[in-house]
């Protein structure tokens, strides 16, 4: 059975994602991928002439897979809900599945986000590949948030932190696909959704920060 060009490219890109997740970006070379896949020397460079071309393919693969997974989740989510707890639980289940099934994608994505800070196009594609700002804004608009755009950005920041915490932070011990995992994610997301959807947000956040800022100012003798 022959392997099509498309299948071979996908195989190489998926192996590259696993390589970044397990050994870091420095380990990503054409030769390392040939070795990992037991391909003849030069096979990876035949499909991806440069490391840049390989990284672009990796970013496209992560972004495309993320869109497909998110679309599948939305298709099976049922009618729209406005209860923050129910919404938080749905997002928590989705994040838990990502952590269980696509952990290497999440790790590689994070490594590439840092590596590609100087490339506006690739960086933007990567940052939008976990939770779309457009969808988050629509979510907070449906919850009648005063500033849905700001709420969306802050909510995505919470999601990014939660995911990082689970694959590289203090909660790496908390296994996905467990009730405890989903409960932990749901609890934080519920608080974030309820707070950011409040009619007083973000004014309340600014007001709460002001006293702290004044207290932190050094006193002059």
* pLDDT tens digits for range 122-147: 999 999 999 999 999 999 999 999 99
74-80 long-range CB contacts below 8 Å, 24 or more apart? 80/142
- Contact in structure between 11 and 34 (CB atoms under 8 Å): no
Q: How far apart are CA 98 and CA 177, in angstroms?
A: 10
* pLDDT tens digits for range 6-17: 899 999 999 999
- What stretches of the chain show up as alpha helix (H) in DSSP? 5-23, 30-36, 43-47, 51-75, 84-101, 103-115, 120-127, 133-142, 148-167, 179-196, 203-216
pTM as predicted: 0.85
* pLDDT tens digits for range 162-201: 999 999 999 999 999 999 999 999 999 999 999 999 888 9
Q: How far apart are CA 164 and CA 173, in angstroms?
A: 13
Q: How far apart are CA 22 and CA 77, in angstroms?
A: 33
């Amino acid at each position: 059975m022959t392997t099509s060009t498309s299948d071979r490219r996908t195989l190489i890109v998926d192996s590259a994602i696993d390589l970044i997740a397990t050994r870091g970006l420095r380990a990503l070379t054409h030769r390392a991928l040939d070795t990992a896949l037991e391909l003849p020397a030069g096979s990876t460079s035949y499909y991806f002439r440069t490391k840049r071309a390989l990284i672009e393919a990796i970013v496209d693969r992560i972004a495309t897979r993320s869109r497909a997974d998110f679309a599948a989740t939305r298709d099976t989510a049922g009618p729209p809900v406005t209860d923050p707890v129910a919404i938080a639980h749905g997002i928590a289940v989705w994040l838990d599945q990502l952590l269980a099934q696509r952990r290497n994608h999440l790790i590689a994505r994070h490594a590439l986000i840092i590596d590609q800070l100087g490339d506006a196009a690739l960086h933007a594609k990567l940052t939008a590949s976990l939770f779309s700002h457009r969808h988050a804004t629509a979510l907070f608009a449906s919850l009648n948030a005063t500033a849905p755009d700001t709420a969306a950005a802050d909510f995505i920041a919470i999601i990014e932190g939660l995911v990082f915490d689970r694959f590289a932070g203090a909660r790496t011990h908390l296994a996905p696909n467990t009730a405890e995992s989903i409960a932990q994610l749901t609890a934080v997301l519920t608080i974030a959704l309820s707070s950011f959807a409040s009619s007083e947000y973000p004014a309340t956040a600014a007001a709460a920060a002001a006293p702290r800022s004044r207290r932190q100012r050094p006193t002059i003798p």
